[in-house]
Structure 1
Amino acid sequence: MPRAATAPKRKPRAKSAPKDSVPTWADDTQLVGLVFDLEATATASLYSQYTIGLHAWFLDQVRQVDPDLSAYLHDGESEKAFSISALEGQLLPSGKQLKLVANQIYHWHINALSQRVALFLKQWLTNLPKIIDLRGASLQIKQVSIAHAPTTYAQLLRSPVEQSVVDLSFVSPTSFRRKGHHFPLPVPENLFHSYLRRWNDFSQQPVEQEAFLEWIDENVIIHQHRLESMKVAAGKQGSVTGFTGAISLGLSKAALANTEFTQLFYALVRLAPYCGTGHKTTFGLGQTRSGWLQEQKSATAEQLVADMLAQRIEELTEIFAAQRKRKGGERTDRIAVTWATILARREHGESLGAIAQDLEMKTETVKTYVKLARKALKGTVGGAIGNQ
Structure 2
Amino acid sequence: MLLSMVFRLQAMNNAFLPLSHGAMAYAALLKMIDRRSPALAKEIHDVQSAKPITVAPLQSAGMVPSHPHVHIVAGEVFTWRVTALTANVAEEIQQMVHSVERVQIGQGIFQVLEVVTSWAEHGEARQTTYPELLNRWERQAVPAEVTLQFVTPTAFRRGRVHQLLPTPRLVWGSLLDRWNRWAPQSFTIGRDLLEEAILLRAWQGGTQRIELDHRAATGFTGQFTYRVQPNYPAVRLMMAVLADFAFFSGVGWQTAHGMGQVRWRAKGSLVNN
TM-score range for the pair, normalised by the shorter chain length:
0.7 to 0.9
Identity %, equivalent residues:
26
Report 1:1-388 matches (<5 A).
30-47=1-18, 50-77=21-48, 79-89=50-60, 90-91=62-63, 97-127=69-99, 129-146=100-117, 147-160=124-137, 161=141, 163-178=143-158, 180-208=160-188, 211-235=189-213, 238-256=215-233, 259=234, 261-291=235-265
Contact preservation (8 Å) 1:169, 1:293: no
- Cα distance change, pair 136–262 in 1 and its aligned pair in 2 (3 A): closer
Judge conservation of contact 2:54–2:255 (CA < 8 Å) in 1. yes
Shift of 1:250: 2.1
Q: Is the 8 A contact 1:148 1:274 kept in 2?
A: no
Return the letter of the residue paired with 1:277.
V
CA–CA distance in structure 1, aligned partners of residues 35 and 159 of structure 2: 39
SS at match of 1:71: helix
1:273 aligned partner, one-letter code: F
User: Residue type matched to 1:213 in 2?
Assistant: R
* Deviation of 1:271 (Å): 0.7
Residues 247 and 47 (structure 1 numbering): CA distance in 2 closer, same or farther, change over 3 Å? closer
Tell me the distance in 1 between the aligned counterparts of 2:267 and 2:15.
30
Q: SS where residue 165 of structure 2 aligns? A: coil
Change (3 A) 1:165 1:207: closer
Deviates more, 1:179-188 or 1:42-51: 42-51
Residue deviations 1:111-141 (CA, integer Å, cap 9, x gap): 01001111112212322x2221234421222
Which structure ranks higher in relative contact order (CA pairs < 8 Å, sequence separation ≥ 6)? 2
Q: Secondary structure at the match of 2:232?
A: helix
Secondary structure at the aligned position of 2:247 is classed as helix
Q: 1:164 Cα deviation (Å)? A: 3.1
For residue 49 of structure 1, report the CA deviation from its aligned partner: 5.1
Q: For 1:278, what is the secondary structure of its paired residue? A: coil
Contact 2:50 2:254 in 1 (8 A): no
Distance of aligned partners of 1:251 and 1:97 in 2 relative to their CA distance in 1, 3 Å threshold? closer
**TM-score, length-normalised on structure 2?**
0.85
Task: Answer with 1 or 2: which has the greater Rg.
Answer: 1
Asked if the contact 2:150/2:221 (under 8 Å) is kept, the reply is yes
Unaligned runs of 5+ in 2: 118-123
Q: Deviations over 1:181-202 (max 9, x none)?
A: 1111211110011111211211
Q: Which runs of 4+ in 1 moved over 4 A?
A: 292-295
Q: 1:40/1:267 Cα in 2 relative to 1: closer, same or farther (>3 Å)?
A: same
SS of residue paired to 1:214 = helix
TM-score (norm 1): 0.61
Q: CA deviation at 1:78?
A: 5.1
- Give the residue type in structure 2 aligned to 1:274: F
Partner SS for 1:244 = strand
8 Å contact kept, 1:79–1:201: no
CA RMSD in angstroms, aligned pairs only? 2.4
Counterparts of 1:163 and 1:262, CA distance in 2: 7
Structure with greater strand percent: 2
Deviation at 1:165, TM superposition (A): 2.0
SS in 1 for 2:192: helix
Structure 1 residues 293 and 121: CA distance shift in structure 2, 3 A: farther
Structure 2 contact 20–57 (Cα < 8 Å) conserved: no
The structure in which a higher percent of residues are helix is 1
Letter of the aligned partner of 2:204 in structure 1?
A: R
Judged with a 3 Å threshold, the aligned counterparts in structure 2 of structure 1 residues 201 and 169 are, in CA distance, closer, same or farther, namely same
May I ask how many residue pairs the two structures share in their alignment? 258
Shift of 1:216: 1.1
Cα distance between partner residues in 2 of 1:148 and 1:228: 27
1:340 corresponds to? none
Can you give the 5+ residue segments of structure 1 that lack an aligned partner in the other structure?
1-29, 296-388
Partner Cα separation in structure 2 for residue 293 and residue 134 of structure 1 = 35
Task: Check the 8 A contact 1:220/1:249 in 2, yes or no.
Answer: yes
How many angstroms does 1:294 deviate by?
5.1
